[in-house]
Amino acid sequence: MGRLASAAVLRGRDQPFSIEEIELPALGHGQMLVRIAGVGVCHTDLLPREGHLGDDLAIVLGHEGAGIVEELGPGVTSVHTGDHVVLTFDSCGACANCLSGHPAYCDTFAIRNFIGVGLGDVPSATSRKGGTVATRWFGQSSFADYVVVTTRNAVVIDRELPLELAGPLGCSVTTGAATVANVLGVGPRDSVAVLGAGSVGLAGVMMAASSGAGRIVAVDLDHSRLELAGSFGATHQLGSAEAGELTESLLATGGPLSAVLDTTGNPRTIAAAVDALAPRGTCAVVGHQREELVLGPRALSGGKRVTAVYEGDVVPQVDIPRLASLWAQGKLPFDRLIETYALAAINDAEHDLESARVVKPILLP
């Protein structure tokens, strides 16, 4: 028998989350039980509402959990009870991409993270309301007070950090900051545009500023988000514009750009920003695209690149502690984006995220 947990269960695309008591499966080899201190709410957690998993749902979402290890399963030696951990995406650790330091491109990434039931014969949780509930969303399903995870997607962090606020290091903050550092390689005197000033984009602005970038251009529809970007180091703030106007506006900030981080997924915005890149410049796309990206015949001339990026292309056990250290030093102040809610208020948190009233909701079980 596994642990009883209180969890927010989604049972239909158009239904609200309901708080239910579920029984987690017993710990298997390499697994651990974590008591959640706080979990971020991310737009990725809302994909099932778009039909990502069909209409017949019974799933616990949540993939930005942080908590305390309470129990270890067989074979766990790298983590100890009482450790503070940030939970992140799951990966196999054995495919070519995992072994070469790119676990976000794991051969089994999609089924381990986006389906909710895990890979292979993974036991399901059961609800006291009846029936099984999927609890392997991103290997954690952390909209709950207790979760079962593996050593692959649990990263130990400094116990002095405010654990209840640390969850975004598992996805949104890491995606924005690590894409700027690891993929775009932004450094002193570089110029970067960040398209979209949500939690991912603002983390990118913070990292660009921390890296000494000379010009940081934030682009967003929301004036208050642009003001936030300015407070984090953006040297220029641009509102929305038509594609051609956006290219001209970006160039008017100081000439062609070294790099672009796109978090919008808007193909026209991406194409306009690519046109503002300098030769050999790179546009990293992390936003969820719903339409085809069409580029002009000479858009990539001069060695320009467009690349899609998952999870900042991080090695979680290496990069998350590094980013946590920057947070502790005040160089990655993502805690300024956070508003906290009780787990029972998850529907309010979802509404406030969707309406852009808050940048990063965090649920406290």
Lowest mean pLDDT among 210-214, 286-290, 333-337: 286-290
What does the pLDDT look like over 21-62, one tens digit per residue?
A: 999 999 999 999 999 999 999 999 999 998 877 777 899 999
pLDDT beyond 90 at 244: no
What does DSSP assign to residue 179?
Answer: I
- Cα dist. 121→18, 118, 124, 168 in Å? 27, 8, 9, 29
Given pLDDT bands bounded at 50, 70 and 90, which one contains residue 241? Answer: low
Overall average pLDDT of the 331-341 stretch: 98
What does the pLDDT look like over 78-131, one tens digit per residue?
A: 999 999 999 999 999 999 999 999 999 999 999 999 988 877 667 789 998 889
Mean pLDDT of the chain: 94
Q: What is the pLDDT of residue 1?
A: 62
What does the pLDDT look like over 135-181, one tens digit per residue?
A: 999 999 999 999 999 999 999 999 999 999 999 999 999 999 999 99
Q: What is the pLDDT of residue 288?
A: 81
Class of domain 176-309: alpha beta
The b-or-e profile of 175-208 (16+ CB within 10 A means b, else e) is: bbbbbbbbbbebeeebbbbbbbbbbbbbbbbbbb
Q: What is the pLDDT of residue 42?
A: 95
- Cα dist. 304→229, 280, 282, 288, 332 in Å? 26, 4, 6, 21, 29
Domain ranges of the chain: 4-170+333-364, 176-309
* Cβ–Cβ under 8 Å, residues 62 and 144: yes
* Cβ–Cβ under 8 Å, residues 16 and 340: no
Given pLDDT bands bounded at 50, 70 and 90, which one contains residue 223? Answer: very high
Overall average pLDDT of the 197-221 stretch: 97
Q: What is the pLDDT of residue 240?
A: 65
Q: What is the pLDDT of residue 192?
A: 98
DSSP for 262-312 reads E-S--HHHHHHHHHTEEEEEEEEE-S---S-----TTTTTTT-EEEE-SGG
The three-state secondary structure class of 332 is: coil
pLDDT beyond 70 at 232: yes
Dist CA 326 CA 243 (whole Å): 35
Q: What is the pLDDT of residue 121?
A: 63
What does the pLDDT look like over 314-332, one tens digit per residue?
A: 999 999 999 999 999 999 9
Residue type, 11: R
What does the pLDDT look like over 269-324, one tens digit per residue?
A: 999 999 999 999 999 999 888 789 999 999 999 999 999 999 999 999 999 999 99
Dist CA 68 CA 76 (whole Å): 15
Dist CA 85 CA 158 (whole Å): 9
Domain 4-170+333-364 indexed as CATH 3.20.20.220: no
